[in-house]
Amino acid sequence: MADYHFVYKDVEGTSTQWDDIQRRLGNLPAKPEPFKPPAFAPKVDADEQPKTKEWLDEREPEELEELEDDLDDDRFLEQYRKMRLAELRDAAKAARFGSIVPITGSDFVREVSQAPSDVWVVVFLYKDGIPECGLLQTCLEELATRYPATKFVKIISTDCIPNYPDRNVPTVLVYNNSAVKGTHVGLQKFGGRKCTPESVALALCHSDPVLNDGHGGGDSSRDNVMEGVRKKFIEKVVAQHESREEYDSD
């Protein structure tokens, strides 16, 4: 006669009343905690993150370029992507310059004549020891900082043009697209010895959009210069008025 043995296995984590009594008496180890699987949390790929304005603001220009075909279904985000990309490009362009760079005769072709066609170059010809050169350089240094998308360079006059007469310095040459667009000899066009950054800016932008701060192009540079001159004029008038009132009160 066959002998059959059955082994009954209860649900994991359960125990008999006898086992519970033995555990209370310390004769059996504590009952293990029942197994609980971790809560389901779907893995989110970086490329699958929801794309918002804030998300686009954190992307580099190369990443924004790659998103060109990914935002076709969202017109707003696609327009924002293009706007953000344009802002980053303008910022990179504006950061190219920002000061007057000294050059030598051997640098002239590379730094001036071969400058990119969209860059205006202001060339300052000077001689040390001539007061007018110092006055104009101070004005140009401020303009170089104010309009970092315009390239400013300075070169000793005779290093640029052999035997260039000292009576003609300071001289400013304006270049664009490998051609001379303007020539300013002396300080007369800039307001003489009373020249200011604003008067120099007005003379430079009289017929061409020479000065550019990187946030606009074309005629906007002349508009920005004029607006700056108006603000300076108002500030000067207000300062003079306050000075007179203070003098009268004394």
Instruction: Check residue 21 and give its pLDDT.
Output: 73
Q: Which residues pair with 182 in a beta bridge?
A: 174
Pick the more confident residue, 83 or 177. Answer: 177
> Quick one: which of 193, 170, 192, 171 has its CA closest to 180?
171
Instruction: Check residue 193 and give its pLDDT.
Output: 93
Question: Which tens digits make up the pLDDT trace of 12-48?
Answer: 556 677 777 777 777 777 777 776 776 655 544 445 5
What's the whole-number average pLDDT of the chain?
78
Q: For each of the domains in the chain, give its residue range(s) and CATH number, in order of start.
A: 50-94 (no CATH), 100-229 (3.40.30.10)
